[in-house]
A and B are shown apart, each in its own frame.
Chain A
Amino acid sequence: EVQLVESGGGLVQPGGSLRLSCAGSGFAFSRSWMTWVRQSPGKGLEWVATVKEDGSEKYYVDSVKGRFTISRDNDKNSLNLQMNSLRAEDTAVYHCARNSGAYVIWGQGTMVTISS
Chain B
Amino acid sequence: EVVVTQSPATLSVSPGERATLSCRASQSVSNKLAWYQQKPGQAPRIIIYDASTRATGIPASFSGSGSGTEFTLTISSLQSEDFAVYYCQQYNNWPRTFGQGTKVEIK
Q: Which residues of A contact B (CB under 8 A)?
A: 35, 37, 44-47, 50, 59-62, 95, 100-104, 106-109
Contact = CB atoms under 8 A, between A and B. Distances in A.
Give me the 8 closest cross-chain CB pairs, A-B, nearest first: A102-B34, A102-B49, A47-B96, A106-B43, A45-B98, A44-B101, A44-B100, A61-B95
A71 to B, nearest CB: 18
A46 B43 contact: no
28 contacts: A35-B96, A44-B87, A44-B98, A44-B99, A45-B38, A46-B98, A47-B89, A47-B96, A47-B97, A50-B96, A59-B95, A60-B95, A61-B95, A62-B95, A95-B44, A100-B49, A101-B32, A101-B34, A101-B49, A101-B50, A101-B91, A102-B34, A103-B34, A106-B44, A106-B45, A107-B43, A108-B43, A109-B43
Interface residues of B, number: 23
A37 B36 CA distance: 13
Contacts of B97: 47
